[in-house]
Amino acid sequence: RIFRGPAFTPVSPTEVAVLDDHLFCVDPAGTVARVLAADDPEAVELLAHHRAAGTLTEAAPGQYFLPGFVDLHVHAPQWPQLGRALDRPLGDWLMNYTFPLEARYADPVFARQVYTQLVENLLRQGTTTAMYFATVHTQASVVLAEICADRGQRALVGKVTMDDRSSNPDFYWDADTASALDGVVEFIERVHGLGSGGLVLPVVTPRFIPSCTDRALAGLGEIAARYGVHVQSHCSESDWEHQCAFDRYGRSDAESLDGFGLLTGRSVMAHCVHLSDRDAELFARSGTAIAHCPVSNAFFADAVLPLRRRLDEGLEIGLGTDISGGFAPSVRTALREALVQSRTLDHGADPGRPAPERGTHDGHIVLEEAFWLATAGGGEALSLPIGRLAQGYAWDAQLVDTTAAGGLPLFDVRDSRDVLDAILLVSGAEHIAGVWVAGRRVIGD
């Protein structure tokens, strides 16, 4: 297939390529085989051939291709409580809202209803890849993986482990450590067997240190190494969670997770607002990525991620909506909130406090970096060839229509950068005219 149109794609954390009128040739496996300008002599022939064959998709005037968004942190079972009870402290919110809801996924019929609506919604937001926490239930977790595979969303799905009787409620936990680990192995094998051509991958998922026994954490580290699968968890999210590891192990949760073999080149840790500089070095050394969830952090973390500093350290970072710790299902909102928070941190949130001395503040990120985090940064965090419209990358793309829904306010446009500003900061799901994953159209016709 061939896709033709103008496109925006990140090429480095601080650089966006503006491709005016280009052709993207996508092979049958859904990977971009070639990118060439429409005025290239070869393009004329290719266009004629694909137009005749009906395998050409052309952007209409006002439409632009962008890479699909990568959402590194979604709690799929929390979809029914999106936006609810965010004013509660984390521990209270988990015990009184989240765990009772997650317990309901013992019923795979309920799971199918919720997960079908969630995956549809995220695809319509332009999220082509999502990294999901499911629940402790093996069957319902497989249902989520199946829905992603059938609907065509690239997904990384984890059956959650929470086997510590002292910290989990009796209505929602893995009653037994050995069977919890057996369930994880069964889940990995069933997801591997889905026959979805690698579109859906299993993830080892200890919920967070407070919910797991040492035996489970060590067992999960071994399973992750044996199967070479991704790992996800929460790390240094809130001060009480952060303190739990110090009380239990005398060291940070990042160091503790590392001790259990859970910080690997395929690990993604959510939040990480309380990382020490030593923890950050550990992340850099192991290739562990941060899922930055700015909306959720505003409610449940007790700090703001020093994003500028962590980027400058060379850490792998992408964005997460943290449904339902965050109220917004869209990576677009996370991108905007990441920008706003980094600027707030930079300029000082408290006008009564003296401005930080030059060079001592964290500094803010620029729009290019926010775009990177939402796309290619997420791809690098997952070690997958996604998040760019470039040769060798999957055709995971969204077509944004700036004329849809009454149109974006694009008067007096000076250059394409003005258009990118509006797309990233002003557009909504209603401006998405098409979404593709691995070359397959999943939204639009």
Interacting residue ranges for ligand GUN, rule: CB under 6 A: 75, 90, 94, 98, 207-208, 234, 237, 296, 300, 322, 325
Binding site partner of 206, from Fe ion, ligand GUN, none, Cβ cut-off 5-8 A by kind: none
Q: How far is the CB of 53 from Fe ion (least distance, A)?
A: 45
In the complex with Fe ion, the residue whose CB is nearer, 130 or 394, is 130
In the complex with Fe ion, the residue whose CB is nearer, 296 or 398, is 296
CA dist., res. 388 & res. 306, Å (int): 25
- How far is the first Cα of the chain from the last one, in angstroms, to the nearest whole number? 15
In the complex with ligand GUN, the residue whose CB is nearer, 272 or 419, is 272
Q: How far is the CB of 323 from ligand GUN (least distance, A)?
A: 9
Binding site partner of 431, from Fe ion, ligand GUN, none, Cβ cut-off 5-8 A by kind: none
316 counts as binding Fe ion under rule CB under 5 A: no
Count of CB atoms situated within 10 Å of the CB of 192 = 16
322 counts as binding Fe ion under rule CB under 5 A: yes
Residues in contact with Fe ion, counted by CB under 5 A, come to a total of 2
Contact code string over 256-275 relative to Fe ion, x by CB under 5 A: --------------x-----
Q: How far is the CB of 167 from ligand GUN (least distance, A)?
A: 10
Binding site partner of 408, from ligand GUN, Fe ion, none, Cβ cut-off 5-8 A by kind: none
Q: How far is the CB of 241 from ligand GUN (least distance, A)?
A: 7
Binding site partner of 208, from Fe ion, ligand GUN, none, Cβ cut-off 5-8 A by kind: ligand GUN
Segment interacting with Fe ion (CB under 5 A) among 134-142, 200-208, 299-307, 318-326: 318-326
Q: How far is the CB of 234 from Fe ion (least distance, A)?
A: 5
In the complex with Fe ion, the residue whose CB is nearer, 146 or 322, is 322
In the complex with Fe ion, the residue whose CB is nearer, 322 or 396, is 322
Q: How far is the CB of 173 from ligand GUN (least distance, A)?
A: 13
Joined together, the tokens standing for residue 438 give 């691995």
In the complex with ligand GUN, the residue whose CB is nearer, 153 or 296, is 296
